[in-house]
Amino acid sequence: METPERVHHSLDGHAILLAEDNEDDVFMMKRAFRKAQISNPLYAVGDGELVLEYLEGRGEFADRTKFPFPLIMFLDLNMPKKSGLEVIKYIRHQPSLQKLVINVLSSSTRGTDIDSAAVSGANAYFIKPTRIEKFQELIESWYNLAKFEAFPVSS
Protein backbone atom coordinates (compact mmCIF):
# COMPACT_ATOMS: atom_id res chain seq x y z
CA MET A 1 0.00 0.00 0.00
CA GLU A 2 1.25 3.43 -0.90
CA THR A 3 1.88 5.69 2.01
CA PRO A 4 0.16 9.05 1.65
CA GLU A 5 2.50 11.94 0.93
CA ARG A 6 3.52 13.64 4.16
CA VAL A 7 2.89 17.26 3.34
CA HIS A 8 1.68 18.62 6.60
CA HIS A 9 1.59 17.47 10.13
CA SER A 10 -1.43 17.95 12.27
CA LEU A 11 -1.05 18.41 15.97
CA ASP A 12 -2.21 14.84 16.59
CA GLY A 13 -0.06 12.94 19.00
CA HIS A 14 2.99 15.16 18.61
CA ALA A 15 5.17 16.09 21.52
CA ILE A 16 5.00 19.56 22.99
CA LEU A 17 8.02 20.98 24.79
CA LEU A 18 7.67 23.39 27.72
CA ALA A 19 10.74 25.52 28.30
CA GLU A 20 10.03 27.01 31.69
CA ASP A 21 12.20 27.40 34.77
CA ASN A 22 9.37 28.08 37.19
CA GLU A 23 8.11 24.72 38.45
CA ASP A 24 4.80 26.22 39.51
CA ASP A 25 4.22 27.45 36.00
CA VAL A 26 5.10 24.02 34.62
CA PHE A 27 2.58 22.52 37.02
CA MET A 28 -0.08 24.97 35.91
CA MET A 29 0.66 24.39 32.24
CA LYS A 30 0.33 20.65 32.69
CA ARG A 31 -2.86 21.10 34.68
CA ALA A 32 -4.30 23.45 32.06
CA PHE A 33 -3.48 20.90 29.32
CA ARG A 34 -5.12 18.16 31.34
CA LYS A 35 -8.22 20.27 32.04
CA ALA A 36 -8.47 21.17 28.37
CA GLN A 37 -8.21 17.42 27.59
CA ILE A 38 -5.20 17.89 25.35
CA SER A 39 -3.61 14.47 25.12
CA ASN A 40 -0.33 15.39 23.41
CA PRO A 41 2.68 14.30 25.46
CA LEU A 42 4.27 17.20 27.34
CA TYR A 43 7.97 17.44 28.15
CA ALA A 44 9.42 20.17 30.32
CA VAL A 45 12.94 21.57 30.59
CA GLY A 46 14.07 24.17 33.07
CA ASP A 47 16.78 26.25 31.43
CA GLY A 48 17.98 27.54 28.08
CA GLU A 49 20.85 25.06 27.76
CA LEU A 50 18.56 22.09 28.43
CA VAL A 51 16.18 23.34 25.74
CA LEU A 52 18.95 23.04 23.17
CA GLU A 53 20.14 19.72 24.56
CA TYR A 54 16.60 18.36 24.25
CA LEU A 55 16.09 19.70 20.72
CA GLU A 56 19.42 18.35 19.49
CA GLY A 57 18.95 15.02 21.28
CA ARG A 58 22.09 15.36 23.33
CA GLY A 59 23.00 14.16 26.83
CA GLU A 60 20.14 12.77 28.86
CA PHE A 61 17.80 13.43 25.91
CA ALA A 62 19.67 11.21 23.45
CA ASP A 63 16.93 8.57 23.31
CA ARG A 64 14.36 9.88 20.80
CA THR A 65 11.87 7.17 21.73
CA LYS A 66 11.79 8.56 25.25
CA PHE A 67 12.22 12.20 24.28
CA PRO A 68 10.61 12.71 20.87
CA PHE A 69 11.32 15.79 18.80
CA PRO A 70 8.52 18.30 19.52
CA LEU A 71 6.28 19.92 16.96
CA ILE A 72 5.70 22.93 19.16
CA MET A 73 7.57 24.58 21.98
CA PHE A 74 6.15 26.93 24.61
CA LEU A 75 9.09 29.10 25.59
CA ASP A 76 9.62 31.32 28.62
CA LEU A 77 11.89 34.32 28.00
CA ASN A 78 13.32 34.66 31.48
CA MET A 79 15.38 31.49 31.98
CA PRO A 80 18.74 30.61 33.50
CA LYS A 81 21.85 29.86 31.41
CA LYS A 82 20.34 30.91 28.08
CA SER A 83 17.48 33.36 27.80
CA GLY A 84 14.46 32.61 25.68
CA LEU A 85 15.61 35.16 23.11
CA GLU A 86 19.02 33.49 22.82
CA VAL A 87 17.28 30.16 22.38
CA ILE A 88 15.10 31.51 19.57
CA LYS A 89 18.09 33.03 17.78
CA TYR A 90 20.06 29.80 18.04
CA ILE A 91 17.16 27.70 16.75
CA ARG A 92 16.51 29.96 13.78
CA HIS A 93 20.14 29.58 12.71
CA GLN A 94 20.09 25.76 12.82
CA PRO A 95 18.79 24.25 9.55
CA SER A 96 17.53 21.16 11.39
CA LEU A 97 15.50 23.17 13.91
CA GLN A 98 14.20 25.99 11.76
CA LYS A 99 10.69 24.67 11.34
CA LEU A 100 10.00 24.21 15.04
CA VAL A 101 6.96 26.24 16.06
CA ILE A 102 7.95 28.57 18.88
CA ASN A 103 5.22 30.09 21.03
CA VAL A 104 6.64 32.49 23.56
CA LEU A 105 4.82 32.38 26.90
CA SER A 106 6.19 35.12 29.10
CA SER A 107 4.96 37.40 31.83
CA SER A 108 6.87 40.27 30.24
CA THR A 109 4.62 42.95 28.77
CA ARG A 110 7.56 45.01 27.62
CA GLY A 111 7.39 46.16 24.03
CA THR A 112 11.11 45.51 23.56
CA ASP A 113 10.71 41.85 24.58
CA ILE A 114 7.72 41.32 22.30
CA ASP A 115 9.48 43.02 19.40
CA SER A 116 12.75 41.14 19.89
CA ALA A 117 10.93 37.81 20.05
CA ALA A 118 9.16 38.55 16.78
CA VAL A 119 12.32 39.78 15.09
CA SER A 120 14.28 36.73 16.27
CA GLY A 121 11.70 34.42 14.78
CA ALA A 122 9.07 33.46 17.36
CA ASN A 123 5.80 32.28 15.83
CA ALA A 124 3.58 33.74 18.54
CA TYR A 125 3.82 35.65 21.80
CA PHE A 126 1.45 35.00 24.70
CA ILE A 127 1.52 36.98 27.94
CA LYS A 128 1.28 34.69 30.95
CA PRO A 129 -2.04 35.46 32.57
CA THR A 130 -1.92 36.38 36.26
CA ARG A 131 -5.06 34.46 37.16
CA ILE A 132 -5.22 30.72 36.81
CA GLU A 133 -8.68 30.87 35.21
CA LYS A 134 -7.21 32.96 32.40
CA PHE A 135 -4.30 30.56 32.10
CA GLN A 136 -6.78 27.77 31.51
CA GLU A 137 -8.67 29.90 29.03
CA LEU A 138 -5.50 30.72 27.10
CA ILE A 139 -4.52 27.06 26.68
CA GLU A 140 -8.05 26.08 25.64
CA SER A 141 -8.29 28.91 23.12
CA TRP A 142 -4.89 28.09 21.70
CA TYR A 143 -5.78 24.41 21.36
CA ASN A 144 -9.12 25.12 19.71
CA LEU A 145 -7.26 26.88 16.93
CA ALA A 146 -4.18 24.64 16.86
CA LYS A 147 -6.16 21.46 16.27
CA PHE A 148 -7.17 22.88 12.89
CA GLU A 149 -3.69 24.16 12.09
CA ALA A 150 -1.33 22.64 9.53
CA PHE A 151 2.28 22.40 10.67
CA PRO A 152 5.49 22.13 8.68
CA VAL A 153 7.16 18.73 8.55
CA SER A 154 10.18 18.79 10.79
CA SER A 155 13.30 17.23 9.39
111 contacts other proteins (rule: CB under 8 A)? no
Q: What is the torsional sign of CA 36, 110, 94, 63?
A: negative
For other proteins, the closer of residues 40 and 78 by Cβ is 78
The neighbour count for residue 78, using CB atoms within 10 Å, is 14
Residue 91: its H or E element: helix 84-92
Shortest gap between Cβ of 29 and other proteins (angstroms)? 11
With CB under 8 A as the contact rule, the residue among 63, 95, 133, 150 that binds other proteins is 133
Q: Would you tell me how many other CB atoms lie within 10 Å of the CB of residue 114?
A: 17
Considering only the stretches 24-32, 43-51, 58-66, 90-98, report the one whose residues sit in contact with other proteins under the rule CB under 8 A.
24-32
Residue 28 binds to other proteins (criterion: CB under 8 A): yes
State phi, psi for 76 to the nearest 5 degrees.
-80, 150
Which residues here bind other proteins, judged by CB under 8 A?
22, 24-25, 28, 31, 78, 107-108, 110, 128, 130-133, 135
